[in-house]
Amino acid sequence: MRRSLIIVLSMLLAGAGLGTGAYFAARRVCVQRLAHDADDLEWLRTEFHLSEPELQRARLLHEGYLPKCAEMCARIAAKQQELQAALAAGRGVTPEAERKLAEVAALRTQCQTQMLRHFYEVSQTMPAEQGRRYLAEMQRLTLGFHDQFERSMSGDAPAHHGHH
Amino acid sequence: MNNTLSQPDDAKLSQLLREARPAPPLPPGFQNAVWRRLEKAEPPQEPFSLAGWLDRCAAWLLRQRLAAAGLAVLLLVGALVGVMDGVSLSKQAAQQRYLASVSPMSHTP
């Protein structure tokens, strides 16, 4: 019985080891091969089945949008520093801090508007159905976070989040 | 002495008996069929014992063809699940890369 037990256990271990090894090796190879093509628009191409001309149009829009996005990010970062400085004075929420807060919020709104406009433009380069799906997905991914956050604050969140 | 004398009679008697009751010839493959039926017959039910079960498992696992086939199946299943997982991970990474490039404020689930 002891010998049989050793045989069964070692075969099970060998099998589990082999299966697990194959799993990790295959996963790693797959991730490395697919990550090798580090194009920002790769996801657009595969997820929305874009043809080469469609991808080229989306790329043009993408490259035109990036400098605007970077500029907006820089402005938000600068404004946030000003807000931090106003709050760091330790005098509470002063009118100055409140004004900076409103400016940061306005810049963020501007940034989001610009971003959504870009998404609409990109969606126009795709076939209608894919464009609709792209827009819905981008809105979910970029605006969804705020919705989720606000819902959790208002108590509409799922029960496991608890009450704040 | 009686035996020696009765031997020719016994042989005659046996032959007479054989001729009186001729046995029909056996159908072709009769013996094989009997063996097959014997092999197919269910073995008597033994009470369950862990030792017996382990012995049977070990004997089954030690059959080279079965062991090799089992390991090959595990290898294939592991690799297949790994590839599927890898594709899914890569897709997520690609999505995050795109999102990060267009929306610094984005949040990926």
The yes-or-no verdict on residue B105 having pLDDT over 90 is no
Residue A161 lies in a domain: no
Q: Give the model's pLDDT for residue B18.
A: 79
The reported pLDDT for the residue numbered A105 is: 92
Distance (Å, rounded) from C-alpha A6 to C-alpha A11? Answer: 8
Note whether A120 and A150 are same-domain residues: yes
Which of the pair, A23 or A86, is modelled with greater confidence? Answer: A23
- What residue of B is the nearest CA neighbor of A5? B54
Residue A3 lies in a domain: yes
Chain B residues 20-79 within an 8 A CB cutoff of chain A: 50-51, 54-55, 57-58, 61-62, 67, 70-71, 74-79
Q: Which residue in A125, A134, A153 sits closest to A56, CA to CA? A: A125
Tell me if A53 is assigned to some domain: yes
Residue A163 forms part of a structural domain: no
Q: Is pLDDT at B2 greater than 80 in this prediction?
A: no
| pLDDT tens string B46-64 | 677 777 888 887 887 777 7
Query: What is the residue-averaged pLDDT of chain A?
Result: 84
User: Phi then psi for A16, rounded to 5 degrees?
Assistant: -65, -40
Tell me: pLDDT of B1 over 80.
no
Shortest Cα distance from A41 to chain B (angstroms)? 6
| Distance from the A88 Cα atom to the nearest Cα atom in chain B, whole angstroms | 24
Cβ atoms of residues B79 and A22 within 8 Å: yes
Does any CB of chain B come closer than 8 Å to the CB of residue A9? no
Distance CA B96, CA B109 (A): 10
Cβ–Cβ gap A141/B99 under 8 Å: yes
A153-162, B10-19, B69-78: lowest mean pLDDT where? A153-162
> Are residue A143 and residue A86 in the same domain, yes or no?
yes
Are A23 and A31 within 8 A, CB to CB?
Answer: no
ipTM higher than the 0.90 cut: no
Residue A106 lies in a domain: yes
Lowest mean pLDDT among A26-30, A77-81, A88-92: A88-92
Nearest-CA distance from A32 to chain B in Å? Answer: 9
- Same-domain pairing of A107 and A134: yes
A102 plus A131 within the same structural domain: yes
Percent of chain A at pLDDT > 70 equals: 85
Do A91 and A114 have their domain in common?
yes
> A22 with A47, same domain?
no
Q: Which of B70, B79, B103 sits opposite A26 (nearest CB)?
A: B79
A1 vs B54, B61, B62: nearest CB: B54
Residue A117 domain-assigned?
yes
- Average pLDDT of the segment spanning A6-35: 88
pLDDT exceeds 60 at position A162: no
Which residues form the domain of A94? 42-155
Chain A residue at shortest CA distance from B74: A19
- Residue B50 CA to residue A75 CA, distance in Å, equals 73
Are residues A64 and A144 both part of a single domain? yes
Using one digit for the tens of pLDDT, what is the confidence trace for A84-137? 888 887 777 888 889 999 999 999 999 989 999 999 999 999 999 999 999 999
CATH number at residue A117: 1.20.120.1490
Nearest to A22 by CA among B41, B68, B46, B75: B75
Task: Give the pLDDT band (50/70/90) at residue A151.
Answer: low
Split into its structural domains, chain A has a count of 2
A130 in the same domain as A84: yes
- Name B46's Cβ contacts closer than 8 Å, sequence gap at least 6: B52
pLDDT of residue A130: 92
Nearest to A26 among B70, B82, B97 (CB): B82
